[in-house]
Amino acid sequence: MMKFEKAVSRIDQIISEIEKGEAPLEQSMKLYSEGISLLGECRKELDEAEFSVTVKDSVCSLSEQNRL
């Protein structure tokens, strides 16, 4: 799995290549497929990060409530 920042950078490259309109259809479709795959990886990583932050926030809130 590619690091998030590298994946986002690669997605930007893919978008630029496709928007130029110079690549043959087959290559554009491969780029599109790669981009969709990378987007899925990024979404998964963001979801995991959100879950982690939510859990940590909940633990901190419970800890504060127990001190009161």
Report the alpha-carbon distance of residue 38 to residue 12 in Å, rounded.
11
Model pTM greater than 0.95?
no
Can you give the pLDDT at residue 42?
Answer: 96
pLDDT digits (tens, 9 = 90+) for 5-49: 999 999 999 999 999 999 999 999 999 999 999 999 999 999 999
C-beta separation of 11 from 38 below 8 A = yes
| Of 61 and 8, more confident | 8
